[in-house]
Chains A and B, each alone.
Chain A
Amino acid sequence: MRIDCPCCGPRGVAEFSYGGDGTLRRPDLATREAEPFSAYVYDRENPRGPHVELWHHIAGCRHWLRVTRNTLTHEILGVEMAGRFAGDAARIEGQGA
């Protein structure tokens, strides 16, 4: 498996550290109920097929990437920067990765 890092180019998966489901959003810190936090920490959709996930280019540029990958075939369908440098599509105002 190779990830085409927008910063470094195609690199082997061994250079990256997996950050899990990339669609999760931490609840607003002002939230008082436990339920949204517990769902954020523990509950996963775990799809068989395309999965939006985070990868950290730990042995490269150290950017966090948001990767769309097919979990059944390991095919990588898209890579973009996460967080501050994210493209408009992935970017959510005022939030990090």
Chain B
Amino acid sequence: MQKYSALSLLKNAFSGHRHWQPAWRKAEPKPAYDAIIVGGGGHGLSTAYYLAKEHGLTNIVVLEKGWLGSGNIGRNTTIVRSNYMLPDNNRFYEWSMKLWEGLSLDLNYNVMFSQRGVLNLAHTPAQLDDYARRGNSMRLEGIDAELLGPSEIAALVPGLDLSGSARFPVVGGLLQPRAGTARHDAVAWGYARAADARGVDIVENCEVTGFLREGERIVGVTTTRGEIRAPKVGVAVAGSTSQVLALAGVSRLPIESHVLQAFVSEPVKPILDGVVTFGAGHLYISQSDKGGLVFGGDIDKYNSYAQRGNLPVVEHVMSEVTAMLPFVSRLRLLRNWGGIMDMSMDGSPIIAPGPLPGLYLNAGWCYGGFKATPASGWCFAWTMAKDEPHPLNAPFTLDRFRNGASIDERGAGPYPKMH
């Protein structure tokens, strides 16, 4: 791997940028590997990287049906945080945060991780009490959390409507200073490049179309580019989880696929420093380095694989953003798109061996899988290498639903559209 540095940038500048190497090889699939990872999104790629780096498994392959970054890893609003309430979630997402903090150096790739803070606004005293409780729960796990009053918020976010006459007056907020954003494409490319450098094959335009079995056991896959065998097959295909597992004969899962839309405004000068969320609805917004405001709200709330949503949600999100930050009403919307979310029945993910021998499952990421990318890959790699979960992902089993051990952060019950 050609190492990136200030010096390499300078050298290449003087030679007209003609000598950069591709970031990863276009590998041809081999007939057999020690492990196969289905899905070249953030989670599949990070799993491959940590399998190679932490467990010395380098004879492995990532199979992606499209091109790298074509799924949710390239469609999200890039927010990274570990501000949960339930201890299982906090421990997992805080481990992810720690991996994020060293990620650019570890990968030798600038993922533009920017710890600009995530501020959740509270609009009623009860909501502020709830945030205080969540902040305490975070601090008990050693995670940074600060409860802010309106004057501190005014200094932090100048464009907010903090007047008493606001439709939903702001009474305070919960800030996680170490939270922030990262460049989503760079995360996919950085993991791909670093995994490739350790010998991992990354095969794009290669769709898994079936599974090879010996009795109950999964021993490989059939693909649009031929059969590939391996004693371990990990599936990390986000919104396509039900389809891919159906190929293995697992026809029902505690997952529904829903569409989530995102929006970007025309670029403007710096106005929003951190990430802010609106507490009277569901809205999260930040400003990208290019100047566009990047924001999103709720899923459309019906099963969908369309990668585009409907107008009522667009209207709803626009009304929220203009209620919170009135100046946004004068901006033009540049782009809008959708991604297919693997919504689980309790809003928490699944990282577990099974459901068949030789198979490993990584799914159920809901709105929150981008921030999980490092820890998800790290834990999934551990699970695949050792055939048992790491303590950090041990609670995220597939059979927790059946056993009554669901991890329902919002207390919303078994309704995927509510998580």
Contacts and interface: CB of A to CB of B under 8 A. Distances in A.
Interface of A: 1, 12-14, 18, 20-21, 34-35, 38-39, 41-48, 51, 53, 69, 71-74
A20 B243 contact: no
A63 B252 CA distance: 28
Contact of A20 (B251, B256, B306, B312): B256
A52 to B, nearest CB: 11
B243 A13 contact: no
A46 B303 contact: yes
B301 interface: yes
Contact of B414 (A12, A42, A46, A71): A42
18 contacts: A1-B310, A12-B312, A13-B302, A13-B310, A18-B417, A20-B303, A41-B414, A43-B254, A44-B252, A44-B253, A44-B255, A45-B242, A46-B257, A46-B303, A48-B242, A48-B243, A71-B306, A72-B306
Contacts of B417: 18, 20
A35 B310 CA distance: 37
Most buried by B among A41, A46, A72: A46
Contact of A74 (B252, B301, B304, B401): B304
B311 to A, nearest CB: 8
Interface of B: 242-243, 251-257, 301-306, 310, 312, 345, 401-402, 414-417
B402 A53 contact: no
Contacts of A74: 304, 306, 310
A72 B345 CA distance: 21
Given A21-B256, A42-B401, A72-B306, 12 more contacts: A1-B310, A12-B312, A13-B302, A13-B310, A20-B417, A39-B252, A41-B345, A42-B414, A44-B253, A47-B242, A73-B306, A74-B306
Contacts of B310: 1, 13, 74
A-B pairs, top 4 by smallest CB distance, nearest first, are A43-B252, A46-B242, A14-B312, A42-B401
Contacts of B251: 45
A71 B255 contact: no
B252 A45 contact: yes
A15 B337 CA distance: 23
Nearest to A74: B306
A34 B402 contact: yes
Contacts of A46: 242, 253, 255-257, 303
Contact of B402 (A12, A21, A35, A71): A35
Contacts of A12: 312
Contacts of A73: 306
